[in-house]
Amino acid sequence: MGKRVMILAGGTGGHVYPALAVARELMDRGNEVVWMGTRRGLEARVVPAAGIPVEWLAVEGVRGKGIKGALKAPFMVIKALTQSLGILRKVRPQVVLGMGGFVSGPGGLIASLTGIPLVLHEQNRVPGTTNRLLASRARVVLEAFRGSFPAKARARVTGNPLRREIVGLSTLSRDREPGAPLRILVVGGSLGAKALNETVPEALALLGIPLEIRHQTGPALRDETASRYQALGLKADVLAFVEDMAEAYAWADMAICRAGAMTISELAVTGLPAVLVPYPYAIDDHQTKNAEVLSEAGAAILMPQNELTAEHLASAIADVVNSPGRLEAMSQGARQVARPAAAEIVAAVCLEHANQNKLKR
């Protein structure tokens, strides 16, 4: 008989998309998934579109919101805890999967207090506040990257759950034809990255080698970035969004991008060498720690934004291209840290603890 699993995830793609990958795995095994999220986050659009019922929670993150956020926090927490209790009583899941972020906090705490097994998954190398606070209350803590939690947490390394079309590239050959243009994929995230938009075109122009370029800018700076390439005499496919990331990863020889947790995991699984420019204002500087996963494996060049210049970036890319076998070695290094079975493993852990739950549905 299938189990009923409640997933707590919301806000940004970094929490929502890996949760969706687990949800699909659970549903394909004949289990029921119910989501707890907010109407303000990405989950409000993509989760119902995936055919998953959602129980709505009125909560938002307060970290970094200043004095006003701090004053509102106690009232918001009480409201969210009360709502979470009502939702859990209504849905009666046999296990709860918390993916971190503010949405995960109230439901995760109530689940642990009411005897519902709580499974936590952390996507970043530096754990977020919610997962740090809930780790001692969880039945099991799962981490994408080894060492995110202290040894006493007894965390299990699973990797980040990824979309199946991305995982399908785990055996893709990265061989390049001699003399073929170097295919560069520039990805700045859904809103784009101004630093990349301003610096990358000039850096690529300095290389002076045959290139094919795809540059995702975000919607606001697409035209400006396209004009920059045109002024430099470079042909580039400049896009506000990349509709098919699996196809883009398969096309590219090298990426220049930020270092969000999902990006790191996708680069690893697809074996794509990269120059990583972590977003310098990320909470706890977690993108730098994420980037170190690949740089320590020899799979990426870590370039802090305060060191990002056209000359420095061009030199770094040239060093890779001019070193025989370097791209192939970087690709192999990436795949050594990849965990393509993450979604299946997280789903299996959830079902294991659901089976141990003695509470009736």
State residue 350's pLDDT score: 98
Q: What is the pLDDT of residue 177?
A: 83
Order the strands of the 118-122 sheet from edge to edge.
54-56, 32-37, 4-8, 95-98, 118-122, 140-143, 156-157
Report, as ranges of residue numbers, the positions in the chain whose pLDDT lies below 70.
Answer: 59-72, 358-361
259: which strand partners? Answer: none
Longest dimension (CA), the chain: 67
- Model pLDDT, residue 175: 86
The separation between CA 152 and the C-alpha centre of its own chain, rounded to angstroms, equals 25
* Domains of the chain, earliest start first: 4-162+340-357 (3.40.50.2000), 169-337 (3.40.50.2000)
Give the contacts of 214 (CB within 8 A, at least 6 positions apart): 183, 184, 185, 186, 236, 237, 239, 242, 248, 251, 252
Distance CA(156)–CA(171), nearest Å, equals: 25
Beta-carbon contacts of 227 under 8 Å, excluding residues fewer than 6 positions away, are none
> Which DSSP letter does residue 186 get?
E
CA-nearest of 343, 356, 353, 348 to 118 is 353
- Which phi and psi (to 5°) does residue 53 adopt? -70, 145
DSSP code, position 136: G
Strands (E) located in 177-310? 182-187, 211-216, 237-239, 254-257, 274-276, 300-302
Do 147 and 169 form a contact (C-beta atoms < 8 A)? no
Q: Report the C-alpha gap between 97 and 107 in whole angstroms.
A: 10
User: What is the reported pTM?
Assistant: 0.93
